[in-house]
Structure 1
């Protein structure tokens, strides 16, 4: 079955007086397995419910909830998906059962030959990214490994957003750039990987 990637919400991040204003990009991967990646803040429930309806899904149709890392703007509505397996960074769980995870051994969690979750630490030490093959090409949903397309030119953008391991972040950013045709970053629109 062919996978499709739908952006339910395009993230943003901007400096404001007294701090930062930000929300993450929220994506749906639709196919043999249905995934939601990064569920925004707790105040964004209506955006998610409407976005699911627009792509012909409901909360009950989601098989996996992926939070690329555990920051609050990426986990805020995970509780809407009670029939799904949850992957939050390196943690894989369903209800109160926690599964052995492959990420700390630098191995992927493979759903099928077209869809996998891979470890990409850097922004946090337990970041993951989703790699999905579509008719459009290979799409990497990376969370804050990439803040937005502009950080390809200005690495101060991702560095200033916080990085628990800049060396790992550089390594995993380069790896994604060789794997993907398109990147869905944590706080900006999807972009094509420059050749």
Structure 2
């Protein structure tokens, strides 16, 4: 997905909102669930309120994708507990990028492998990888971390294959929400690169979980 060419989204591709209640995507061997949909709301005086989507991938490994802001600490711990999980049960935490509303609770998971942007670490040991060269970091044959820069210089997304809904892409702020055509460019460091990565996501994913909204389905005719 980390290409720099340009092009138009192929015709026949539509983004279709899913019902608000459809936030779980079971599958074998991995299932994906949205623990908290993100949001972004404008306020007066040019300020806005925002929080990032928090997603959980369960299966052979337990993977948390984005942790929300520091204000989500109690919610996150309680929600994991309701699913029978303690922080120590999480094997991998992925921060799609370094903004505070996406990585505000990394400290709750000291035993987990961390992937934040293009850094892959276990404790204070950083592992070599080629995310910065546009190569995926493969967790296993079903899950990989994909470089999808644009919103920032080191955004990543998490691709999960094999759910009953097809391929799910947990996209961070590659997509703000389902209908973000009028907003994402204003928040992008490199809109040309981000546009290319958005197009590729729409070509390959069946469901996209955006950084500040509910999941949506990609329909290709």
TM-score normalised by the shorter chain: which range applies? over 0.9
Structure of higher CA gyration radius? 2
Residue number among 39, 47, 67 corresponding to 1:39 in the alignment:
67
Residues 85-133 of structure 1: per-residue CA shift (max 9 Å, x gap): 1111111111111111211111100011110001000101100000001
Q: Which runs of 5+ in 1 are unaligned?
A: none
Task: Look up the match of 1:49.
Answer: 77
SS at match of 1:45: helix
- 1:1-195 correspondence to structure 2 within 5 Å: 2-18=29-45, 19-133=47-161, 134-151=163-180, 155-160=181-186, 162-195=187-220
What is the CA RMSD across the aligned residues, in angstroms?
1.0
2:82, 2:219 → 1: CA distance?
30
User: Cα offset for 1:45?
Assistant: 0.8
SS at match of 2:81: helix
Residues 172-194 of structure 1: per-residue CA shift (max 9 Å, x gap): 00111111100000000111113
Given that 1:8 and 1:47 are in contact with CA atoms closer than 8 Å, whether structure 2 keeps it comes out as no
| Superposition TM-score, scaled by structure 1 size | 0.95
Q: Which runs of 5+ in 2 are unaligned?
A: 1-27
1:135, 1:114 → 2: CA distance?
13
1:61, 1:91 → 2: CA distance?
21
2:170, 2:136 → 1: CA distance?
14
User: Cα offset for 1:54?
Assistant: 2.5
User: Cα offset for 1:28?
Assistant: 0.3
1:60, 1:142 → 2: CA distance?
25
Query: How many residues end up aligned between the 2 structures?
Result: 191
Given that 1:2 and 1:135 are in contact with CA atoms closer than 8 Å, whether structure 2 keeps it comes out as no
Task: Look up the match of 2:17.
Answer: none
Q: Looking at both structures, which has the greater relative contact order when contacts are Cα pairs under 8 Å and sequence separation is at least 6?
A: 2
User: Cα offset for 1:40?
Assistant: 0.6
1:106, 1:179 → 2: CA distance?
16
| Superposition TM-score, scaled by structure 2 size | 0.84
